[in-house]
């Protein structure tokens, strides 16, 4: 009988309380679907890994560290599941590094990020309709993603269009570091005559970006720039990983993981 493991790889967060609300339950949900496998963890943010080591003296493995341990401990059947939102830079790191081990682990499979297939978008739309909209305080909702220079940033535009075609015209997608920008989204809000919005991060965790770039009190936070336009703002500082429907999607992706 071979040794089996499932390695869940997340971006990570330095907000320990939010980790317990997002990353940990996601890992547990995936582990529960594979009771014959040992659960392992790795993160892709070296900056956050270093911060936790310095602040809390807690070590989190980077991708290659986790894989090296699995190889040295004799695991011959490994599933790797990313909890990233899109197929961007962070997932590229996961796929590139994990693929180096395909000759060292006889059965090595990898599961895709949240938004990969058309069916994934449909499922996320239902999650937004059933699980995210009820978190709002009426009016419109603005979901704030991270944004990236990677071509995968187009994920946000596709999601925005799919929301519109699905009739959810009061849900807006914006990003901290990509397109649509805060200014783009404010332009849409004003054009649509929106007077009240709820902000929520479109990120697995509600970490620094959610607490500061979205809900912070600085003049350039999303909350502040929207309020400056005379629009009432509420904030829901809650990561996607806290939603069972999103966790279930990662479980299905792990079940459908493909051989590397």
Task: Report, as residue numbers or ranges, the catalytic residues.
Answer: 146
**Coil, strand, or helix at residue 43?**
strand
Dist. CA 100–CA 105, nearest whole Å: 10
In this structure, are residues 107 and 250 in contact, taking their beta carbons and an 8 Å threshold? no
Please tell me the distance from the alpha carbon of residue 40 to that of residue 18, in angstroms, as a whole number: 19
Report strand pairing: 38-43 vs 196-201: unpaired
What sign has the CA pseudo-torsion 44, 47, 51, 57?
A: positive
E strand or H helix at 158: helix 154-165
Say if CB 254 and CB 79 are below 8 A apart. Answer: yes
- DSSP character at residue 230: T
With tokens 């499922």, the residue in question is 123
């Amino acid at each position: 009988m071979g040794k089996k493991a499932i390695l869940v790889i997340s971006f990570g967060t330095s907000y320990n309380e939010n980790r317990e609300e997002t990353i940990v339950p996601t890992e547990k949900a995936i582990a529960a679907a594979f009771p014959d496998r040992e659960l392992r963890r790795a993160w892709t943010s070296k900056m956050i890994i270093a911060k936790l080591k310095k602040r809390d003296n807690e070590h989190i493995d980077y991708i290659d560290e986790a894989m090296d341990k699995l190889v040295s401990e004799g695991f011959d059947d490994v599933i790797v599941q990313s909890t990233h939102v899109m197929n961007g830079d962070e997932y590229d790191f996961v796929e590139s590094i994990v693929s180096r081990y395909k000759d060292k682990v006889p059965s090595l499979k990898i599961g895709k990020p949240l938004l990969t297939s058309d069916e994934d978008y449909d499922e996320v739309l239902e999650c937004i309709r059933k699980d995210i909209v009820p978190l709002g305080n009426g009016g419109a909702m603005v979901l704030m993603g991270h944004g990236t220079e990677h071509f995968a940033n187009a994920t946000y535009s596709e999601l925005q269009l799919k929301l519109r075609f699905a009739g959810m015209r009061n849900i807006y997608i914006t990003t901290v570091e990509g397109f649509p920008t805060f200014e783009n989204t404010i332009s849409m809000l004003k054009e649509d005559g929106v007077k009240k919005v709820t902000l929520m991060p479109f990120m697995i965790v509600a970490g620094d970006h959610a607490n500061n770039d979205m809900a912070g009190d600085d003049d350039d936070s999303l909350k502040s720039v929207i309020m400056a336009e005379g629009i009432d703002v509420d904030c829901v500082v809650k990561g996607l990983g806290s939603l069972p429907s999103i966790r279930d999607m990662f479980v299905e992706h792990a079940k459908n993981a493909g051989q590397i």
